[in-house]
């Protein structure tokens, strides 16, 4: 259950940052124009930040194209526009300003820009000049498209769209047009936040035949998808350098088999023969996100070794496309890799990787496999791209949302060039973020972030919050979140304690894997070690401690509620697992519960599974004694809403003060603007009620 950031179209917003002076399509203040009344961040200010993403570099290496998203609170609506900024630095130029969203933008060889938009009602592909002029429509596909990629020679187009392959009730019973029901005959009938009626397929079309209305479905009739949802995007689909093959990631399994496995492979579809070949056959975990060397000789990709383990080490693999020899380059590199980018000479790869809860840029030489760290700093890089003799990447920290940086690969020097949120950041006071190494119960050292309130006074006593990470294997790195935002928590007047407990990446694979089949074990002791160490500080009021978390963090709060021995005075659990017996049969991705819990609860001879189910939080409700806020979204099919209802009901039946914040239209996250602000207000009000008396 990776608690990561998925790029979701529903979360895009109208932006008007450092623009070109053009008349704005919407009449509301932008972050560049906002004047705050206070230097303390509020939920409304948090949701006013521009959300930068989709950065890509022009063919000449001189300009960066990117999108920025903003929310209009009154409209409860999002918008997204496109900008360009010189790699060398300078004023950013807004090149779109429309009621629609422009996204998935990329450069073409002639310096023009292609992008997706719903200008014609459905999402279609368009092309325009680099200044935003002369917009032309490229596709008019029925129902719209979801993503695209041009072939390297720009003679062909790949696009993806949903294809209906599962009959509904009306298909089976044409005379029952008003029947409202589903007939389900196989597993994996719903996923993440939607019912599975369509499968995303890949289509290919020629670009020289006018407006494209229909391409060839290269997966015709196949009841599986590419890219693999919910995390995959167009990074899972690519062209070989010679424009002769479409490479794509797919998990070619159906029903129960699909739900039980993470074994995705990379396939080549040859345009001339129409045949498909499995290029990673025999590799049993996730294989995806392929990148081809400019000389066409190699395919690099991200690979996991074990089937069913979604948090396995992400390895860097390279295949010689002629000899078909595969080399595992990061065998002795105890870190994950991501965002693979070849150098122009095909001799090296850049990538991002986390170590000790920060994500930096690295470079690996193909000849000897040597890996060098390019950047240093307390931050997370989300991407890396080439821009002439420089690199471009988007970077965040706990104290700053994403901005674009220019990096000198020789010196590691990093220079900000986008400044989307500078005006807001200049008006806000953020608390200090401190790194601490805390001793655990088994004498290990655990990195813990401590975030202080703005204008911190060491002579005062503050309530403190223990933050419990989700995932369960997602690093408490230097991320910037619009829900679990540490600076927002601190701005509410709390010390925030955020430990990288057992079961988190960037501390080696042994540390990361310890959590599997040990829910309620060492990682929970790690949480207690962190809060027990920090509560000893003279500025922390140990009688006013709270614990908060989502997903696995929500489970952690439920588990702590039955075991904390009077440490805490308030809890908040968002989308957490409460009843493991029910969770095993309610969740849709069975590989997760099978791997992490060890198997089904009915397997009485399976000691690992029996230990897991014995540690289900619902078995310790008799020990609950602390007020709890439960939050859940109805469209969360990973951990269904009944888990939250059970926890809320249990607390109320026990006579414990409890509140239930329920979102009928949200999934595992909270994506809506007004819902997000409501989440923040309710979060603060609950903690203030019990920790600031």
Give me the active site residues, please. 551, 636, 668
d(CA 187, CA 260): 10
In contact, 144 and 123? CB cutoff 8 Å: yes
In contact, 305 and 313? CB cutoff 8 Å: yes
Distances in whole angstroms, Cα of residue 8 to Cα of each of 229, 478, 532, 542: 12, 21, 38, 40
Give the DSSP letter string of 571-630: EEEES----HHHHHHH-S-HHHHHHHH-S-TT-TT-HHHHHHHHT-GGGGGGG--S-EEE
Q: Which residues contact 232 (CB under 8 A, 6 or more apart)?
A: 226, 249, 288
In contact, 673 and 76? CB cutoff 8 Å: yes
The interaxial angle of helices 522-534 and 552-561, nearest 10 deg, is 70
d(CA 671, CA 482): 9
To 5 degrees, how large is the angle CA 436–CA 617–CA 482?
Answer: 50
Beta bridge partners of 361: 352
In contact, 408 and 32? CB cutoff 8 Å: no
SS3 call for 404:
strand
In contact, 188 and 259? CB cutoff 8 Å: yes
Chain centre to alpha carbon of residue 141: 29
Q: Tell me the two tokens of residue 435.
A: 């790194």
Q: Tell me the two tokens of residue 503.
A: 């079961």
Question: Which helix (H) or strand (E) is 164 found in, with range?
Answer: strand 156-164
> Could you give the dihedral angle defined by the CA atoms of residues 37, 43, 45 and 51, in that order, rounded to the nearest 10 degrees?
170
Q: Is the dihedral of CA 576, 582, 588, 591 positive or negative?
A: positive
Phi first, then psi, for residue 437 (nearest 5°) are: -105, 115
Q: Which residues contact 107 (CB under 8 A, 6 or more apart)?
A: 56, 57, 58, 59, 65, 113, 114
From the list 674, 576, 580, the residue with the least C-alpha distance to 630 is: 576
From the list 36, 33, 30, the residue with the least C-alpha distance to 14 is: 30
Beta bridge partners of 66: 83
Does a cis peptide bond (omega within 30 degrees of 0) precede residue 227?
Answer: yes
Q: Which residues contact 507 (CB under 8 A, 6 or more apart)?
A: 356, 357, 447, 500
Burial class of residue 365 (count of CB atoms within 10 Å of its CB; 0-12, 13-18, 19+): middle
90: left (phi over 0), alpha (psi -120 to 50) or beta: left
Total count of residues recorded for the chain? 693
- For 220-265, the three-class secondary structure string (H helix, E strand, C coil) is CCCCCCCCCCCCCCHHHEEECCCCCEEEEEECCCCCHHHHHCCCCE
């Amino acid at each position: 259950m990776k608690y990561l950031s998925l790029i979701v179209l529903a979360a895009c917003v109208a932006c008007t940052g450092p623009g070109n002076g053009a008349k704005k399509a919407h009449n509301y203040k932008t972050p560049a124009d906002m004047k705050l009344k206070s230097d303390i961040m509020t939920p409304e200010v948090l949701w006013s930040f521009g959300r930068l993403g989709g950065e890509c570099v022009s063919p000449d290496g001189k300009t960066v194209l990117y999108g920025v998203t903003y929310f209009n609170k009154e409209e409860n609506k999002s918008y997204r526009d496109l900008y360009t900024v010189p790699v060398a630095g300078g004023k950013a130029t807004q090149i779109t300003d429309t009621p629609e969203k422009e996204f998935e933008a990329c450069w073409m060889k002639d310096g023009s820009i292609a992008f997706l938009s719903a200008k014609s009602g459905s999402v279609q592909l368009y092309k325009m000049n680099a200044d935003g002029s002369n917009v032309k429509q490229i596709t008019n596909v029925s129902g719209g498209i979801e993503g695209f990629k041009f072939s390297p020679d720009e003679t062909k187009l790949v696009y993806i769209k949903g294809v209906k392959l599962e009959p509904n009730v009306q298909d089976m019973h044409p005379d029952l047009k008003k029947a409202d029901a589903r007939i389900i005959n196989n597993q994996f009938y719903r996923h993440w936040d939607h019912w599975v009626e369509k499968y995303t397929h890949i289509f290919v079309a020629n670009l020289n035949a006018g407006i494209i209305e229909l391409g060839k479905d290269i997966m015709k009739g196949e009841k599986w998808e590419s890219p693999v949802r919910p995390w995959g995007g167009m990074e899972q689909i690519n062209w070989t350098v010679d424009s002769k093959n479409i490479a794509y990631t797919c998990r070619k399994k159906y029903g129960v088999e699909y739900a039980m496995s993470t074994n995705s492979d990379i396939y080549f579809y040859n345009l001339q023969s129409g045949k498909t070949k499995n290029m990673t056959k025999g590799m049993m975990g996730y294989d995806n996100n392929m990148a081809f060397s400019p000389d066409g000789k190699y395919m690099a990709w991200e690979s996991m070794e074990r089937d069913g383990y979604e948090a396995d080490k992400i390895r860097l693999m390279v295949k010689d496309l002629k000899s078909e020899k595969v080399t595992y380059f990061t065998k002795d590199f105890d870190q994950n890799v991501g965002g693979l980018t070849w150098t122009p000479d095909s001799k090296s790869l850049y990538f991002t990787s986390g170590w000790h809860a920060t994500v930096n840029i690295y470079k690996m030489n193909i000849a000897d496999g040597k890996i060098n760290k390019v950047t240093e700093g307390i931050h997370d890089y989300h991407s890396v791209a080439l821009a002439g003799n420089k690199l471009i990447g988007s970077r965040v920290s706990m104290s700053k949302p994403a901005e674009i940086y220019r990096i000198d690969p020789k010196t590691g020097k990093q220079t900000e060039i986008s400044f989307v949120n500078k005006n807001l950041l200049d008006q806000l006071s953020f608390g200090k973020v401190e790194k601490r190494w805390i001793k655990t119960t088994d004498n290990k050292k655990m990195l813990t972030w401590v975030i202080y309130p703005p204008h911190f006074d060491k002579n005062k006593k503050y309530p403190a919050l223990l933050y419990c990470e989700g995932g369960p294997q997602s690093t408490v790195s230097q991320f910037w979140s619009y829900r679990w935002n540490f600076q927002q928590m601190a701005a509410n007047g709390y010390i925030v304690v955020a430990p990288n407990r057992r079961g988190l990446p960037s501390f080696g694979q042994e540390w990361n894997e310890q959590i599997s089949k040990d829910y309620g074990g060492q990682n929970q002791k790690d949480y207690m070690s962190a809060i027990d160490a920090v509560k000893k500080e003279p500025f922390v009021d140990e009688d006013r401690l709270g614990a908060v978390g989502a997903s696995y963090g929500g489970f952690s709060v439920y588990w702590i509620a039955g075991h904390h021995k009077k440490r805490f005075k308030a809890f908040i659990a968002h989308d957490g697992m409460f009843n493991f017996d029910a969770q095993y049969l309610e969740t849709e991705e069975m590989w997760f519960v099978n791997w992490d819990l060890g198997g089904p609860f009915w397997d009485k001879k399976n000691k690992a599974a029996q230990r897991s189910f014995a540690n289900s939080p619902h078995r310790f409700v008799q020990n609950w004694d602390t007020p709890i806020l439960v939050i859940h979204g109805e469209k969360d099919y990973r951990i269904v809403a009944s888990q939250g209802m059970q926890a809320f009901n249990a607390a109320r039946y026990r006579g414990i003060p409890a509140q239930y914040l329920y979102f009928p239209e949200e999934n595992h996250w909270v994506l809506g603007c007004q819902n997000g602000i409501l989440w923040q207000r309710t979060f603060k009000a609950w903690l203030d009620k019990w920790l600031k008396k």
